[in-house]
Chain A
Amino acid sequence: MREEEIPYKGIEGIPVIREPGSAAKVNRGSWRLVRPVHNIEKCTKCKICYIYCPDAAIDWTPDGPDINLTSCKGCMICAEECPTGAMTEEKEGA
């Protein structure tokens, strides 16, 4: 078939994701065996947990870190890196 005879179909049928950040609503909480627990009294608001969360599951607020348990996969980097022991670990479903 010559090129000009190939019917042009535009981008129809090609999957395009139009909503930026739509994965935020996907629940990854079911992956967790343990969950991080934040203790505000011990927190110095140093931001370390927030910076290092690979799934952006910690939002930064004027009160410090706010854990989003829909996105949190329970990797425990936040607890491991917290310098004051303000982020601790709890067994899921306990």
Chain B
Amino acid sequence: MQEFKSLKDIPEQDYFTGGSSACAGCGPSLGLKLALKVLGPETIIINSAGCMTLLPLYPNTPLKASWIHNAIENAASTAAGARHGLDVLGNGDMNVVVYAGDGATYDIGFASLSAAAAKNERIIYICYNNQSYGNTGFQWSTATPYGSETKTTPRGKENPTGNTAVNKDMLKIMGAHRVYAATASLAYPVDFLNKLGRAKERDGFSYIELLGACTAGWNYDPRLTIKISKLAVRCGMWPLYEIEHGMLNLNKDFSELKPVDEFLKMQGRYRALPPDGVERLQALINEHWAELKEYNKQRYV
């Protein structure tokens, strides 16, 4: 596929319509709309239970591609099965794509994801990461960042930090499976869709993790979905990079990161995070960024 150079190159064809019950301004919905521009209608999407499960709500669907509602535990296994079945039927050109939340990816469905990646199944696994169990009311997942409030990590007198755990380094984990692994952002659609285009042509497993800004859970005005997504990249909360054959490639390099405070103050989930919490989060970000800079263009995992 030819690489897109600017927004103007992105196809004008959509395989996604309005009318879903997702929140106004929903980041993960936008991610799927964009992805389908590259994937096209000859695609089977396997979705683990989560917010996106409510997109096709009988008798209507916003999708112009096929969709399988799957359990949280095994979207990757279903995808591998679909891939093998299609190949046997001579349908090798059909795309098999998982669209799964972070809870399904990092936690509940991790065993099946790991197995499919280790076997290098020819599927594209997109994790839309809203950094929580969003659909059930914003509970903590192992993708939740340090300092975020969630339903199960409330901020209070005894624990002013909210979430005190540091999120899993999922990119490194997937990179260590020796598959293609990349992060992506809604605010950088050209980068996201080029990564997807490359994944589509790969003869093996691809993992793309899209930060899915969530207006309801992150608690911000829906108009800010893109601004917040962009700040996440600019302040190093969500660096854009890819790992292939264990080698690291930093896609967006900056001479200086913006302070994380700018990102935090736009969202209710970080409201009242005390200064020492902000400091610790900034230190975690700086550490990760320094690591990415150090290993850029080198063996990383």
Q: A residues near B, CB below 8 A?
A: 15, 17, 19-28, 31, 46-48, 51-57, 60, 68, 70-77, 79-81
> Which residues of A lie under 8 Å from residue B8 when comparing CB positions?
47
Tell me the B residues contacting A by CB distance below 8 Å: 7-8, 10, 12, 14-20, 22, 24-27, 29-30, 33-34, 41, 55-65, 186, 189, 215, 222-227
Cα separation A19 to B33 with both chains bound (whole Å): 18
| B63 and A54 contacting across the interface, CB-CB below 8 Å | no
Residues of chain A within 8 A of B18, CB atoms compared? 23-24, 26, 28, 55-57, 68, 70-73
Per CB-CB distance, the 3 closest pairs between chain A and chain B, nearest first, are: A71-B18, A23-B19, A26-B19
**Contact partner of B33 among A17, A26, A56, CB < 8 A?**
A56
25 pairs, A vs B, C-beta closer than 8 Å = A17-B60, A17-B61, A20-B15, A21-B15, A21-B61, A23-B17, A23-B19, A23-B56, A23-B62, A46-B7, A47-B10, A51-B34, A52-B30, A52-B189, A53-B30, A54-B22, A54-B25, A54-B30, A56-B14, A71-B17, A71-B18, A72-B18, A75-B25, A76-B223, A81-B227
Known: A21-B17, A70-B18. A77 touches B25 (CB 8 A): yes
Complex Cα–Cα for A80 and B30 (A): 16
The SS class assigned to the A binding surface is: loop
* Among B17, B20, B33, residue most surrounded by chain A Cβ atoms (within 10 Å): B17
B contact residues around A46 at 8 Å (CB): 7
Residues of A within 8 A of B226 (CB): 52, 77, 80-81
Bound complex: CA A68 to CA B62 (Å): 14
- With both beta carbons as reference points, the residue of chain B lying nearest to A89 in the complex is identified as B223
Instruction: List chain B residues, Cβ under 8 A from A80.
Output: 223-224, 226-227
A31 touches B24 (CB 8 A): yes
Question: Complex formed: what's the CA distance from A76 to B63 in Å?
Answer: 23
Query: Contact check: which of B7, B33, B41, B189 meets A54 at CB < 8 Å?
Result: B33
Flag if A21 contacts B63 (CB, 8 Å).
Answer: yes
- Known A52-B189, A70-B19; further 16 A-B contacts with Cβ < 8 A: A15-B58, A17-B59, A21-B63, A21-B64, A22-B61, A23-B18, A23-B20, A24-B18, A54-B30, A56-B16, A71-B19, A75-B222, A75-B223, A77-B225, A77-B226, A81-B227
